[in-house]
Amino acid sequence: MPSFTRRLAFGLIAATAFTLPALPASAQTKLKWAHVYETSEPYHKCALWAGEEFKKRTNGKYDIEVFPASSLGKESDINEGLSLGTVDIIYTGQLFAGRAHGPIAIGGAPYMFRDFAHWNAFRKSDLFKELGQGYEKKTGHEVAALTYYGERHVTANKDITKPEDMKGLKIRVPDAPLYTMFPRAVGANPTPIAFAEVYLALSQGVVDAQENPLVTIQAKKFHEVQKNIVLTGHITDALLTIVSGGTMKRLSADEQKILVEILQQAADTCTNDIVKLEKELADWFKGQGKNVVAVDRAPFREAVVKMHMGSDATWDKATYDRLQDIKATTN
């Protein structure tokens, strides 16, 4: 190599050595947790706590950033993101997860549970663990926890006291097929609309009604554009916390254990918060001038239960019977 060329090469190497930043001995890994709920809701607050706790217990090795309110996409998008590598952790409804593994959707079907105690026993059951394992086998992603989302109720400007009052009602539902079971059973017209677009759809009359738990109705301010809150309690709903399989593989065995423990603790805390809020919100809505209607749920349930093992079912009879045989618990 000519002397000029050698001097130029060595000069460039020396310059590079001075301009490149030094890498830390152990770089922090950032993880993304996506969901579609508001920052005011317990789900988001518990996700923030879990992120801080995981950071603390791994001595700052991991930093979980939580993306609320559909900021990384609608619910179907963030489910896909688990496989695409664009998200690491998500909250999602069981019916969305059921697109990948049908049986896990059973926990989100209308009137599948007798009451909260029955649901609470289900989330602690071997059946739920097996459903999660089935989902992981299909997708590679791990179901880490189940958080109570609340009883879903109908809101509408039309007066509703019985199933027949919902005939022809154009009601918004989430964009997952099984959410249409309840509306179809009572003769309503289910209309899938992304969560972030529901308020606008209600205010512009694109749909006449929607259905969600009281906590969500308040957080999303649906009561501002709906006169009646009809306590149908048609789904005892819950959110799965799912961790991407790719993310889990990058964690050590101890880190995996710590993360799952934290996510389950967050789910327990959030569940308790939602239960408490549900008990308070009916009176709060009444104070806002809304009609909170305590309907007889029996005829609504009767219309739906006959569909549990019909063509909509993505579970088998054995799974259905096992769920129905679970004994309720208050613990």
Query: Could you tell me which residue, 27 or 169, shows the higher pLDDT?
Result: 169
In this prediction, residue 328 carries a pLDDT of 87
What confidence category does residue 330 fall into, taking pLDDT thresholds of 50, 70 and 90? low
Closest-CA residue to 207 (of 229, 191, 187, 183) = 191
pLDDT > 70 in the chain, percent:
92
CA gap 29, 243 in Å, rounded: 15
280-315 tens-digit pLDDT: 999 999 999 999 999 999 999 999 999 999 999 999
Give the residue carrying structure tokens 């006959």: 306
pLDDT of 26: 55
The residues, any chain, with a CB within 8 Å of residue 243's CB and separated by 6 or more, are 88, 89, 141, 142, 144, 259, 260, 263
Q: What mean pLDDT comes out for the span 71-99?
A: 97
Q: Which helix (H) or strand (E) holds 243?
A: strand 228-243
pLDDT digits (tens, 9 = 90+) for 196-229: 999 999 999 999 999 999 999 999 999 999 999 9
What is the full DSSP assignment across 127-194? HHHHHHHHHHHHHS-EEEEEEEEEEEEEEESS--SSGGGGTT-EEEE-SSGGGGHHHHHTT-EEEE--
Q: Is 108 helix (H, G, I), strand (E, B) or coil?
A: helix
**Confidence check: pLDDT of 8 > 70:** no
Residue 6, pLDDT score: 41
What tokens were used for 95? 């019916």
What local confidence, expressed as pLDDT, does residue 331 receive? Answer: 57
- Take residue 279 and report the two structure tokens written for it: 């008990």
Question: Mean of the pLDDT values across residues 101-119?
Answer: 98
Q: How confident is the model at residue 95 (pLDDT cuts 50, 70, 90)?
A: very high
pLDDT in the model for residue 27 = 77
Asked whether residue 4 carries a pLDDT value surpassing 70, the answer given is no
- Output the CA torsion sign for 153, 159, 160, 165: negative
Per-residue pLDDT at 23: 34
In whole angstroms, give the CA distance from residue 196 to residue 36. Answer: 8
Q: What is the average pLDDT across 154-176?
A: 97
Smallest Cα–Cα separation from 233: which of 116, 146, 131, 132? Answer: 116
